[in-house]
Chains A and B, each alone.
Chain A
Amino acid sequence: MHSTIVRGQNVFGFFTSVCFFVAALIAASDLLAPRTPKATVSVKDVQVVRGRPHYYSTKKEEYAVIRFSLSADLSSLFTWNTKQVFVYVSASWPNSTLGEDGKGELVNEAVIWDSIITNPSADHLQNIGPAAMKKLVKSSKGKKIDPSRGKLELKNQKAKYQITSPTGKLAETDNVVLKVHYNVQPWVGVLTWTPQIEFGMWKKVKGGVSKVFKFPALKAKKEAEKKKA
């Protein structure tokens, strides 16, 4: 510590250690915040249509077009260390071609809808236009954390993504369920997915799985049958 440069180096060096320690404390403080998410998801409408994966494709595949309703309360996921929460709804069904003895233990799963919910501390990261940004910032003005953003109420929501399977066949698949998943992205610490086990104060999603449904037969076929009849 005898000269200016050495003092600068020492103070800065110790500052980095303090930073690391405080960051570790912040990350650990997440474990003290209970996470008790709830979700109800239900299918409103399913159609299976034939289409091409891209314009020049000669292969036609079957796509499921799903409408669903989602009522979720993820407000407990918003703490001081939450940057944003990624919510997504997936459709999953047993794989009929793979798995031991072809019994279909493996599961196909595809995301049909997703959304990013930012905490007010991370609003500037949201990739939206200036008008929408103004509205978003205004919606929780003066709040450091806004758990009310974790309350989702979607009615008859159209899926963002049309899904298919690797085989290209999807019509008349049975045992399909919709599932709600989330992903908490903290400012400091590890990324956490929907827990599959209860972990301390972190509970599993209450509900979050729809009733079992079936992908209907091809829509085009149905219409053809109607014409015949």
Chain B
Amino acid sequence: MADQLLEQVREAAEGQIDFEGQKLAELLATILLCTVGGISFLYGYFLQDIKLALYIGLGGTALTLALIVPPWPFFNTHPVRWLPVGGVEKQQQAMQGIMVDGQLVG
């Protein structure tokens, strides 16, 4: 029971996402940060306000972090489907384990 709970907490903290999600996260992070940088410079330059540029840059980065870092559900829409263990019956599956000196351990 405690093990299961611990496992859940660990998974939530690790926040793993699937492969497609990783690709998407990488792309989104790059595009968003570049856009934020461009917008902050252009707004700052044309409105001649350096503080505005700073706040746009920091705010945009905070939003990007919020969007990319947590394992949002849309990063997990392509879960990896493993192949079934080939030609092995359920009984035998149960037999799978670590053999030490001909004896099943764990």
B29 touches A18 (CB 8 A): no
A185 located at the interface, meaning its Cβ lies under 8 Å from any Cβ of chain B in the complex: no
Which residue of chain B is the closest to A19 with respect to CB atoms?
A: B57
- Provide the B6-24 mask, 1 if CB < 8 A to any CB of A, else 0: 0000000111110001100
How many A residues touch B, CB cutoff 8 Å? 27
A165 located at the interface, meaning its Cβ lies under 8 Å from any Cβ of chain B in the complex: no
B34 touches A18 (CB 8 A): yes
Cβ contact of B37, chosen from A1, A11, A22, cutoff 8 A: A22
A81 located at the interface, meaning its Cβ lies under 8 Å from any Cβ of chain B in the complex: yes
Stretch at the interface among B68-76, B82-90, B96-104: B68-76
B16 touches A80 (CB 8 A): no
Which residue of chain A is the closest to B40 with respect to CB atoms?
A: A22
Given contacts A4-B69, A26-B50, A80-B49, contact A21 B37 (CB under 8 A): yes
Mark out the residues of chain A between 78 and 128 whose CB falls within 8 Å of any chain B CB in the assembled complex: 79-81, 121
Interface residues on B, range: 20 to 34
A29 touches B45 (CB 8 A): yes
In the complex, what distance in Å separates the CA atom of A18 from the CA atom of B32? 11
Cβ contact of A10, chosen from B29, B36, B41, B44, cutoff 8 A: B29
A11 touches B29 (CB 8 A): yes
Which residue of chain B is the closest to A78 with respect to CB atoms?
A: B48
B50 touches A1 (CB 8 A): no
A14 touches B29 (CB 8 A): yes
Residues of chain B within 8 A (CB-CB) of A8 are 65, 69
In the complex, what distance in Å separates the CA atom of A187 from the CA atom of B51? 10
The 7 A-B residue pairs whose C-beta atoms are closest, nearest first, are A4-B15, A80-B48, A18-B37, A1-B22, A144-B49, A1-B25, A22-B37
Interface residues of B (CB under 8 A from A): 13-17, 21-22, 25-26, 29-30, 33-34, 36-37, 40-41, 44-45, 47-51, 53, 57, 61, 64-65, 68-71
Interface residues of A (CB under 8 A from B): 1-5, 7-8, 10-12, 14-15, 18-19, 21-22, 25-26, 29, 79-81, 121, 144-145, 187-188
A-B contact pairs, 19 of them (CB 8 A): A1-B21, A1-B26, A2-B16, A2-B17, A2-B22, A7-B69, A8-B65, A11-B64, A14-B29, A18-B34, A18-B61, A22-B40, A25-B41, A26-B41, A29-B45, A144-B47, A144-B48, A144-B51, A187-B50
